[in-house]
Structure formats: structure tokens, C-alpha cells
Amino acid sequence: MDNFQLANIVISCPDQPGIVKTVTTFLYEHGANISLLEEHVEDGHFFMRVEWEKGNNFKDEESFMEAFKKLRQDFGMTVKVDFNERKKRLVLFCSKELHCLVDILGRHAIQELEVEIPCVISNSKEAAELVNKFGIPFYCVESSKNSLAHEEEMLKILENHPSDFIGLARYMKVLSANFVEQVQQKIINVHHSFLPSFVGAKPYEEAYERGVKLIGASSHYVTPELDQGPIIDQDVKRIKHSHEISKLKLLGREIEKQVFSFAIKKHIENKLIIYKNRTIVFE
Amino acid sequence: MDNFQLANIVISCPDQPGIVKTVTTFLYEHGANISLLEEHVEDGHFFMRVEWEKGNNFKDEESFMEAFKKLRQDFGMTVKVDFNERKKRLVLFCSKELHCLVDILGRHAIQELEVEIPCVISNSKEAAELVNKFGIPFYCVESSKNSLAHEEEMLKILENHPSDFIGLARYMKVLSANFVEQVQQKIINVHHSFLPSFVGAKPYEEAYERGVKLIGASSHYVTPELDQGPIIDQDVKRIKHSHEISKLKLLGREIEKQVFSFAIKKHIENKLIIYKNRTIVFE
Amino acid sequence: MDNFQLANIVISCPDQPGIVKTVTTFLYEHGANISLLEEHVEDGHFFMRVEWEKGNNFKDEESFMEAFKKLRQDFGMTVKVDFNERKKRLVLFCSKELHCLVDILGRHAIQELEVEIPCVISNSKEAAELVNKFGIPFYCVESSKNSLAHEEEMLKILENHPSDFIGLARYMKVLSANFVEQVQQKIINVHHSFLPSFVGAKPYEEAYERGVKLIGASSHYVTPELDQGPIIDQDVKRIKHSHEISKLKLLGREIEKQVFSFAIKKHIENKLIIYKNRTIVFE
Amino acid sequence: MDNFQLANIVISCPDQPGIVKTVTTFLYEHGANISLLEEHVEDGHFFMRVEWEKGNNFKDEESFMEAFKKLRQDFGMTVKVDFNERKKRLVLFCSKELHCLVDILGRHAIQELEVEIPCVISNSKEAAELVNKFGIPFYCVESSKNSLAHEEEMLKILENHPSDFIGLARYMKVLSANFVEQVQQKIINVHHSFLPSFVGAKPYEEAYERGVKLIGASSHYVTPELDQGPIIDQDVKRIKHSHEISKLKLLGREIEKQVFSFAIKKHIENKLIIYKNRTIVFE
């Protein structure tokens, strides 16, 4: 079924008897036909995602929240509702390595990702031609010594291109804690190592040096502290002693694309909850 | 090092003492600096791939073959030489599912694949817009009841767009044995199952039916017999009982792209030998 | 928590509103604290497994079934209840390849598998010494031309050693449809290929011949038709053209052990349902 | 072919023209039939492993080294020769978690590992009964506050049970740098994380805390610095947010056994070279 025919809510609250029953009864009584329900309990905390077919139940997110209000208050719930009223908007950041960028643009072009891309921002001109092919506005804000001015320019572009979340498609300049805090949207990064190993700018070089037998990549939400945010997905690939660093980088690209696009998809589908710097990833 | 600075040969002949020594001595005496040598012996048959830096050794493929002639005859060798004198040319076939196509076009656009794409041929209009974005000629030869006329039209397009090999990027019409035999180029297909399981048009449906716990995809050279050609690469993904067929298809796309692009790359790099309907895949 | 402090039921019935609510309410009202609930819906069919801590709720399986009777009839349920009142008993069959056998015996010896092994039956003397080390009765029923007599002898041994299920730890003689039907217990087999590829006695030879790039193994419930039963688990390992059949066999052993022990564990924990020749595997 | 019919040498020396030719010619002239040759070049350093069938060539390791002396000196080679004159002897250390221990004992019992096990040493009585089943001497040297006395007692046991290498089968007491340096044999450890992540005693707890999506295990040679030695093998397993630490531990056991037994096998077969704190692992 098309995602746009579905509505979903993600709930978290202190664990207590009767939550599932109460919520499903509420939906049932409003005529909503549940097509998917997942729950998770941890440390006395309850998490749930419910999906149902739109139709003769709630008009829109607002009217749902109004109807749900009492129940939400009774249980002390945090609720994120998503009626797929419009496509989410994703701004992409990139630098010179374009494999993650072209992977997302390609998935977008064949409607695999239900997302709009208002613009792409880079600190290098490298991607200009590629992004143009896809008819998407491209902004190059070249890195300068003055990070502050650099980031302010990016903030202005973000302001002019409203978006729901940001994807760092191998954007190779560290964003300041200040920038991360100022931006309202969630930011998803792909790091080219199996975190927490090898944070920083040279993970393949360090992986080679340490002599690991698998290389990896990780997608994660960005927090002010570099490469410390909640991990969304990770994967690895087997390597051999004969593989030089350049080969590790080539092999690693494939994993980077996988874990990055996975994270983007799950975020679009409202299937991620952050709890204690970890992620709950619904199916 | 850039591939275009390298030359390579792939050799096969009956196994006998002294082959490696003789070939490496020959290269050494002509001033060639070997950067990679791989060999394989099987059933009294010897296979080898040697790579060296171009420069002050052989002028081109022709002059190499001339110099190598005696040695080739002495050992009864089959030789495929590749001086990377120009980019190889790959014609892509597609139908309605475009994930493999966009993956190759994207890799091509960021120069990850050292290949030219003279044109894309499809039996559906679906891909027209996408292919246009990349500035590549697109031909739609809609399937008709008369397969013969259909294939003749494709043969004419192929004639007008000289190429070195063909990639079937989820082309969903079976090519006749006659077509396969007439086409001079090697054809690489991606089949959406873990061969030899589930040949034919509905592999995900059959995989679901049989209740397998992993789904797979396979890239292979095309032979007249459907899905029976030499396998180049395969991979799998774990699934669960709760995954419906539509989910299997989504998960499978990721594997299809991996094994298809891997095969294309290896073919470009002259790293594949077919022996007894199996492939030798050099590193 | 120790498995022996837990009770569980596995339910299947036609899908209809209110099943979850009714069952959880029933358990709640009898004082049972649910620690795990998993469900699955397919084709209008509903499946659920619920686990709770034993204690002040139901005395034993019998008293549970008595209390549950009405509810079971109302919904038309098939119910499998398991109060872990005693360890399940597993009879192992083996032949000359002992890696799966020793793997299970080892897991049993360190209490990883909560199971009793009343005896091991083989059609070869090979395993005698090994089984003796573990203090388990061993019976060698050598294969003879007369399969009937052979199987009758095994049936007698099974009668003298009551068991709950049977594991074929690379038992290399095909059991007759008659035997499979006569035996009351479920039989779990490990097949040394990625089913449905390469059924029969020589899968590694056939895998080599076909030139696959991954080899696999599958554990499945035995049905009268050879290697056609519901698959419980599968896994694969990457191979190379240089790997001879003997190497495939060595690599394959590791996968065989994994998928066989996985199946045994899940069966012990009452986490498997067969539906339409497929398995539902609870977490 | 049985390993005991094969001889092998592992060579390392500065890279220079003619090494392969000279060594293979030397073997050829002594009547040795090469069945496997692998090489690796790195940083101007050359590494090679050659395997041949024993027979009418060299009498034993000593006579080989005598004949090879001149060639070794000419190239400045380090040579490790192995004529498989007798089974290698492996002393195992363990603590309370016995899955790696029973895995090795089981492989040994069915002759999968061509090794002798002179004794098992533990800092806990846990394994006594298990080791006895296999008829292997067992020593319990309980940890005390005085590490020095503890390690001295172990050194004495090692002295009385000559061995070729030591395997730490989840031995959970840190060996002092002094002990590691005093012991002549190579020591192989299995660490229950994907190194370099989570060194130390609580890797699963830390992995859970960090919210990784794959857990791993690593086998490595022991050096005086904890968990910093050259990695031999690593593998990972996918986990989910619903998996508690106890579940991670259960899943991790399977990987620990794989990477530990792999390392033991490769060491037995003289297929490991340490170079710059990394390992070269021959096929």
C-alpha cells in the first residue's frame, strides 16, 4: 500500500497497564483500521508505533491530536503523529565524495524515496553539475577560515529553503556545536567507520593501521559532540591484508550508501525514536 | 593508480611448468613493471591475470600481441589483452523497474565506472525521463507479439551504437536464444533470486511461497538457456516471516544493485574468465 | 531470567477483533505477568506467542488448559502450551560426519541447551566413542538393503527412549515416508545447501558444478517428501573460484552447525509455528 | 589431502626481483611439487607461503633449512618452516564461560583440529567436569590477590606440559605484561567485541550503552598491552533495540567461537604472519 494512504503515531510514556488496549480501542472507535503495531518496553518506559489506513476516521493531524488529547494527558505521552499530508523535505549537504549524494538523488528520481529535496548545499563546487542534472538548486558555500561566517551563510540558505530534516551525504566539514543547536531540524550523518571505532576524519587510514578484518559505516543523528550521536544503522564488509587504503575506501562506499539511505528512509517513515542516545528502529 | 595507466592480460592454457616464470620474464625484459599477478589452476588448466604500468614497454595492444605471439603459441594460450586505450562502451537494457539502471547511471555520472554508455534500450517508456537527465540516447522498443520484429529493431539500434558489452538492468523480457547468439557482445544479466533457485519471472513470489529465510540476487553472463549462464556474483539478505512479497522486493533491490554493479565493474577491468559455465573472478 | 521460571502459549486462529485484548485480559485476571508478546497476521490467520512468569497464576499446563477452554473454543484456537515442567527430550540421529552432533552435545554439556538427550542413534559406529564421552546411550543400526527392518529397529529404540523431538545431525540415510509418518515427534533436519537449491545427497558437488558464489545450509522440519519441509533457518558463506569441493565442505560445516542448533533452540523454546509449509519464528 | 602429507614455509624479506623464481626453482630442483603458493607485498616488504607434498625431496625441517641456508642468507629472509612432523600442542586457558572451550574440545575430539591439548588451565573449577570428559588434564589455579604467585604457578604448569601455543578461551583474568613476555609461546585471545571498540571486561554492556546495531568478536595475538595485539579474525551479528544485554551475550557467543577457532586453525597451519601489529592471513 502507498505510504500516502497511511497515518501513523509514535508514542512514548512511562510503562503502565492498559496502554495498548486504550490506544487501540481509541483508534477502533474512531473507525481506524490498524495495519501495523509495534511496541517496545525498556527501563519502565513504553514505546509504540501504530499505523492505520486513512479514510473515514480523522480528518488530519490536527483533528487527531485534538481527539487524542485527553488520552495523551492521562498517560503522560509524548506523541509524534504523521498523516503523510505532504512529502517531507530533505536538504542534503555534501563535499567532494559524491557517492552518497548520487545514491539519494537517484532513489529520489525513481520515486523510491517519498521526499522532496529543496536544495543541496556543499562546501565545494564538485557536485554542481550532478545536482543540476536532477533540476535541484545547488549552493556552494566554500569553507573559509571564518567558520562562523560560513555557517551563517548556510543558515540563511536553510531559511530560504524550508525543510523537515537534513542529510549529511559525506559532508566533510565538522559542524559547530552552535550550528547543530541552532538548526531546528534533525540532522542525519553517515560516518565512514564502524562507530565507536575511528571517529574523526581519517577512519579508513586508522582501520588499516589497526589491522581490522572488517570495515564498516554508520548512520546516526548528529549531536553537538562529533560522531557521538545515536546510531541508526551500521554495516560492515570483510577485507583482506592485501587491500590497501584506497581499496578500503572503494569497498566502504557501498556500505556508506546502504546505511545512509536506510536512515533517511526510516526517518521519512517516522520509524525512529531516540532514547538515551540510542535509537529504537521500528520495522 | 588510475586504471588508464595500467595494461593487463588474462591468459588461459593447459597447465605446464614454467608459465609464470616465462610470462613474467617476458614482461620484465620488455621493461614492464608488474603491479598485480593472480593465478588459478584447475583440472590441469592454468589461468592468470597480470597487470603492469604502461609506459616504456609496449606501444599498444597490437604491438604487445605481436611481441607475445611466439610465447602464446608455445604454450597454446588463449589471451585477452587490455591496454585501456579507451573507455569500454556499455549498452543498458531496462524495463519498468529502474533501480539497477539509476544505480549504474549514477555511478557513471560520478566517474566511479570507467565506461561510456552509448544508449539505453527499453521495452517501456518508463525510463525515458530519467535517462534524459543523464544526456544519454534512449530507445523504447515496445514489446509486441512478434518477438522477431522486436529483436530485429533492437539489433539495428545496437548496430548504430557500437558497444563492448550489454547490461540487462532488470530487463524483463526473455531474449531469444537466436538474439543471444547473434549479438557479438557479452551480455550481463541480474536475476532477482539466489540462483539456481527460482529461475524465471516470479522469484520473490516463489521465495515467499517456499518460505526461505534469506532472499538473494545473482549477476551472470547470459547464455541461450534462461538463467543458466555463468554466475559472476551473488548476495543475500535475511528476511522474516512477517515480510510480505512487496517487502521482499524492496529488500531485494539493494542486493540486485550490488551484484549487478559488481559484475559490470569486474567485466570492465577484464577480471572475469568463463570456464565450464563457472566464472573465475580476479581480485 | 531462567526459562524454567517462564510459561508460554502459542496460539493460532482465524483473525478477528479482540483476540489480543481477550487473551491478555484473561492472563492478567489470573495474575500472570506478561513478559513477552509477539503476534503475526497472514491471510486472515492470526498467530500469537505469549510468555509470562510462573508463580501465583496457573498450577500447571493442565489447569491452564482447563481455565482457557472456553476462550479457546470461542475463537476456534489451536493452542500449544508450555510450562517448562521438565526439560524436553531430544533424540539425535547421526552418521559419519560428526560436527553437528558434537556441537549439540557440547552445547548440552555446558547447559546452553535446556534439553535431555535420551540416546543417539547412528547408521555407523563412527560416533560411538564421542557419544560415550558424554555418558549418553549410543545405538548403531547399520544400514542394510532392507530399509524396512532397519527402520523398525530404530522405531523400537525410539519406543524405549521416550522423547519429544528428533534431530537429524547430518544423518545421511533418507528416512522413508512411512517412517516419518509413523513417528509422532517432530523431526528437525539440517540440509547442507541453501534450499531449495541442491536437494539430495551431493549438494556441495552440485554447488561447485553450478559455480555459485555463496554456499549455504538449511534447517527444516522433515516431511515425507525429501528436503521439502518447512525451513526454520538458513545461512550462507562467501566462496571463491579457487575453493575446491573439500574446502566448500569445511566452510559449510560452520553454517550447518549454526542453522541446526538455532532450529533446536527455537523448537525447545516453543517458538516455531508451521503454516502452509513455512515457519513462523518468534524472537 | 591430509595436512600431514604437506610441508610449508613462510618467508619474509625485503622485496627484490627474483624471489619467487629463485624459491620455486630451488624447490623444483629438490623434487618438491608445489601445491599452493601465496605472496603479499607491502611497503617494500615481501611475504610468501609455499606448500608442497612431502616425499622424495627433503628429509625433515632440519635438512630443509640446511639446504635452504644460502638462499635465505642471500635474500635476508626470515623463514618459518613446518613439515608437520608432529601435531602442534595447544594449552587452553579458561574461566567460567565455557562455550569457546567446549567448541575447541569438540573440534579436537572429532579430529577437525590437528592438535594435541596437553592440558587446560583455569582460574575457576567450573570447567573441571567438562575437561575430564575429554580425558585432558585440568588445573585450577584460583585467582588470588597476589597475581605474581598466581602466574608463577601457571608458568610451572606450562613448564610441565610443553606446548607450541596457548589459547585463551574466554580466560577472564588479565595476564600481566611480565607473564606475556616470559612465556615463549604465542598466545591467541578471543575478545568479545569488535576491536578496537570496547576493550576491557564489559564489552557487551558498553555496546548496549552506545547503541551499536551490530555486535562483534575478535581473535588476536596477545601483546603486553591489553586487547591491542594483532587482530587475526573478526565477525559481527546484527542486533535490535529490543535485545537486552543478556541476549547480546548469547548472540555474541556464536561469533566468539567462530573467530577463535578460525585463529587456532590458521595458527596450526602456519598461515599467519605478524607485520607492524597487523596479520597477514594466508588462505
Contact partners, residue A205, CB within 8 Å, separation at least 6: A245
Beta strands in chain C (DSSP E): 6-14, 34-42, 45-53, 78-82, 88-94, 115-116, 120-122, 138-140, 165-168, 186-191, 214-221, 231-238, 272-275, 278-281
DSSP A82-141: E---S-EEEEEEE-S--HHHHHHHHHHHTT-S-EE---EEESSGGGHHHHHHTT--EEE-
* D234 Cα distance to chain centroid: 13
> CA-based diameter of chain D, in Å?
63
Residue B238 in contact with residue B213, Cβ under 8 Å? yes
Q: What share of chain D is helix, strand, coil (3-state, %, to 5)?
A: 35, 30, 35
B98–A107 CB contact, under 8 Å: no
User: What are the distances in angstroms from CA D207 to CA D32, D214, D255?
Assistant: 51, 9, 15
Q: Say how far apart CA B216 and CA D126 lie, in whole Å.
A: 44
| pTM score, whole prediction | 0.96
d(C-alpha C189, C-alpha B251), whole Å: 28
Residues of D in contact with A211 (CB under 8 A): 230-231, 276-279
Q: Return the CATH number of D3-82, one of 3.40.50.620, 3.40.190.80, 3.30.70.260, 3.30.1330.60.
A: 3.30.70.260
Residue with cell 543400526: C141
Q: Which of B82, B164, B227, B233 is catalytic?
A: B227
Q: Do A24 and C24 touch (CB under 8 A)?
A: no
Q: Could you report the per-residue pLDDT of A217-275, keeping only the tens digit for each?
A: 999 999 999 899 999 999 999 999 999 999 999 999 999 999 999 999 999 999 999 99
pLDDT recorded at residue B36 = 87
Shortest CA gap D52–chain B (Å): 15
Give residue B9's Cα distance to chain centre: 17
Reported as a single tens digit per residue, the pLDDT across C20-51 is 888 988 998 999 988 888 999 999 999 999 99
Residue indicated by cell numbers 614455509: D9
A chain contacts of residue B242, beta-carbon cutoff 8 Å? 283
Ranges of residues in chain B with a pLDDT under 50 are none
* Chain A interface residues (partner C, CB cutoff 8 A): 17, 20-21, 24-25, 28, 238
Q: Where are the domains of chain C?
A: 3-82, 88-281
Contact D118, D138 (CB under 8 A): no
Provide the pLDDT confidence category of residue A9 given band limits of 50, 70 and 90.
Answer: very high
For residue D172, CA distances in Å to C109, C231, D104, D191, D202 come to: 21, 38, 17, 10, 11
Backbone angles phi, psi at C241, to 5 degrees: -60, -25
Strand B214-221 relative to strand B186-191, pairing: antiparallel
**Per-residue pLDDT reduced to its tens digit, A111-126:** 999 999 999 999 999 9
Predicted pLDDT at D17:
79
Contact A15, A278 (CB under 8 A): no
- Catalytic residues of C, which ones? 227
| Pairing assessment for the beta strands D138-140 and D120-122 based on DSSP bridges | parallel
pLDDT in tens, B40-63: 999 999 999 999 999 889 999 999
Decide: C225 and C65 in contact? Cβ < 8 Å: no
More confident residue, B132 or C148: B132
The three grid cell numbers given for residue C5, joined into one nine-digit string? 521460571
Contact present, A20 and A75 (Cβ < 8 Å): no
pLDDT band at C183 (very low <50, low <70, confident <90, very high): very high
Residue B237, judged by CB atoms within 10 A of its CB (0-12, 13-18, 19+), counts as middle
Q: Are C263 and C232 in contact (CB under 8 A)?
A: yes
- Residue that the C-alpha cell 559488481 belongs to: B262
Q: Do D112 and C106 touch (CB under 8 A)?
A: no
Confidence of residue A18 (pLDDT cuts 50, 70, 90): confident
| DSSP string covering chain B | --GGGEEEEEEEEE--TTHHHHHHHHHHHTT--EEEEEEEEETTEEEEEEEEE-SSS-SSHHHHHHHHHHHHHHHT-EEEEE---S-EEEEEEE-S--HHHHHHHHHHHTT-S-EE---EEESSGGGHHHHHHTT--EEE----S-HHHHHHHHHHHHHHS--SEEEESS--SPPPHHHHHH--SEEEEEESSSTTSS-SS-HHHHHHHHT-SEEEEEEEE--SSTT-SPEEEEEEEE--TT--HHHHHHHHHHHHHHHHHHHHHHHHTT-EEEETTEEEE--
List the chains bordering chain D where 3 or more Cβ pairs fall under 8 Å: A, B, C
Q: Residue A166 belongs to what H/E stretch?
A: strand A165-168
| Inter-chain residue contact D130 with C110, CB threshold 8 Å | yes
| Cross-strand bridge partners of residue D218 | D191, D234
H or E stretch covering A188: strand A186-191
Closest CA to C269 of C163, C114, C162: C114
Q: Say yes or no for a CB contact (<8 Å) between B110 and A103.
A: no
- Interatomic CA distance for residues A103 and B102, integer angstroms: 9
What pLDDT, in 10s, does the model give residues A147-186? 888 999 999 999 999 999 999 999 999 999 999 999 999 9
pLDDT band at A1 (very low <50, low <70, confident <90, very high): low
Q: Inter-axis angle of helices D19-29 and B19-29, to 10 degrees? A: 150
Q: How many residues does chain B have?
A: 283
Rg (CA), chain B: 21
Q: Is the ipTM of this complex over 0.90?
A: yes
Mean pLDDT of A143-148: 77
pLDDT at D148: 85
Give residue C175's pLDDT band: very low, low, confident or very high (50, 70, 90). very high
Nearest CA-CA partner of C39 in C268, C275, C276, C280: C280
Contacts of D24 in chain B (CB under 8 A): 21
| Gyration radius from chain C CA atoms | 21
> What are the pLDDT digits (tens) for C45-83?
999 999 999 988 999 999 999 999 999 999 999 999 999
Give me the helix-helix angle, A99-109 and B99-109, nearest 10°.
Answer: 140
Its CATH architecture, for the domain B88-281, is 3-Layer(aba) Sandwich (3.40)
The length of chain A is: 283
Given a cut of 50, the residues of chain D with pLDDT beneath it are none
Give the tens place of pLDDT for each residue, A19-32: 888 898 899 899 99
